Amino acid sequence: MVKEEFKLENQLCFRLYSASRLITQAYHPLLTKQGLTYPQYLVLLVLWEKDAQPVNDIAKRLLLETNTVTPLLQRMEKEGILTRTKGEKDARQIIVSLTSKGKKLQEKLADVPFSMGEAVMCDSVTPDTAPDLFRMLDDIINRLLHKTDI
């Protein structure tokens, strides 16, 4: 007989993985209209908040390594969404900036956050409970980011 701690339905990781996969899947039809992937959308969110950022800062915000973000940025540059230029103070630093096309995408995607909000709202996730859910997920993320003995 399987111990309770080894049953799939008792795994937090499975719930998080499944929710993440299904949310990404729900974004797909909304983003493909503009020729974007979910990771590209995340980069845009970071740059819409603050344009002209170093690659390292974008990677940190997305909790990714720069070697993961760089190919993504290169593809977005080829598509005319952003530019990558050498830093003025440090030529080793690459600054990522939105093009006019990248800026216009914010208008074109304005309905996406609302559509996704509607997609995930249910009995237990409401506009009132969502901030608590965000806090709990942030606590888990921060705990795992700072846990060194895994």
113: CATH: 1.10.10.10
Q: Are the CB atoms for 47 and 102 separated by under 8 Å?
A: yes
Task: Give the model confidence (pLDDT) of 11-56 as tens digits.
Answer: 999 999 999 999 999 999 999 999 999 999 999 999 999 999 999 9
Q: Which residues pair with 85 in a beta bridge?
A: 95
Q: Are the CB atoms for 95 and 87 separated by under 8 Å?
A: yes
Domain span at 79: 4-146
pLDDT at 8 over 80: yes
Q: Which two tokens stand for residue 144?
A: 């795992």
Q: How many domains does the chain have?
A: 1
Residue 72 makes CB contacts below 8 A (sequence gap 6+) with 39, 40, 43
**Measured distance between the N- and C-terminal CA atoms of the chain, rounded to whole angstroms:** 28
- Span 84-107, average pLDDT: 94
Angle between helix 100-108 and 38-49 (nearest 10): 100
80: left (phi > 0), else alpha (psi -120 to 50), else beta?
A: left
pLDDT at 92 over 90: no
Amino acid identity, position 5: E
- Rounded to two decimals, the pTM is 0.92
